[in-house]
Amino acid sequence: MARFGLTAKGVVYCLVGILAFMAAFEIGGKSEQGSDKSGVFQFILEQSYGRILLAIIALGLLCYTIWRFIQAFKDTENKGDNAKGIGVRIRYAFSGVVYGALAYYAAQLVLGNGGGSNGDSRQSLARELLQQPFGQWLVGIVAVGTAIAGFHQIYLAISDKYKKKVQGTGLKHEAEAMMIRAGKIGYIARGIVWLIIAYLFLKAAMNSNPKEAGGSGSAFQFLENSSYGSYLLGAVAIGLIFYGVFMFMRARYQVINVS
């Protein structure tokens, strides 16, 4: 399940990167908003045998979700029960929730449901939170949590801690070096996207306007609208493709602990 899930995640990120790159340089009429994960699912659905392909992706994401929950609750990575270990396991569980939601959305599209919804799920989340007591603070907390996740991705890249997932695989030095380079660029690109999403949530909290929040599609649009936007978005898109490639490599070579 772990290897199948990592492969499905790699496919999704590679397609996100490809569509974002096409949007950056106006190739094939692609837009930034159509380059997020829901846009990728729609893209897959429109291909030959798209429903079958999307069903396979949905199943893979479900497997990834289950693996993350096993890591969190069975502590297969031996993170322990201290504060640091609990924090890591909570991160695993949160990852499982996120990819479980993606698997559910993909399954709904396969079954012919949900395809007419074009709303941004993060805008919906911000809208729901703002309607609660202390809503602006709640959205602000989401912004801070998202920013922490983004900085953590960049920290993994800069500190080289991500190398643990692929080192000692028995690969030739050149292949391992390629994996490490792809992972570093990919984690930095992913961190940048998370930080932009955090900034958008912070704006939504400060202005009490859920329309200012957004997901990866809004982050891509933010990059595109900045100075040298096409080049910035293109660079991040290539980084996300590298992240997807790194997931393929993890699926093939990472040691998966099962007990």
pLDDT for position 259? 72
Kindly report, residue by residue over 29-73, the tens digit of the pLDDT: 777 767 788 888 988 988 888 899 999 999 999 999 999 999 999
In this prediction, residue 216 has a pLDDT band, given cuts at 50, 70 and 90, of confident
Q: Is 227 exposed, middle or buried (0-12, 13-18, 19+ CB in 10 A)?
A: exposed
Output 117 or 54, whichever has higher pLDDT. Answer: 54
| Of 236, 47, 128, residue with least CA distance to 244 | 236
Lowest-confidence pick of 114-118, 193-197, 252-256 = 114-118
pTM for this prediction: 0.88
pLDDT digits (tens, 9 = 90+) for 225-258: 888 889 999 999 999 999 999 999 888 888 888 7
Per-residue pLDDT band at 186 (split at 50, 70, 90): very high
Task: Please compute the mean of the pLDDT values over residues 101-112 and round it to a whole number.
Answer: 90
Tokens in use for 63? 């497997």
Q: 13-17, 115-119, 120-124, 216-220: which range is least confident on average?
A: 115-119
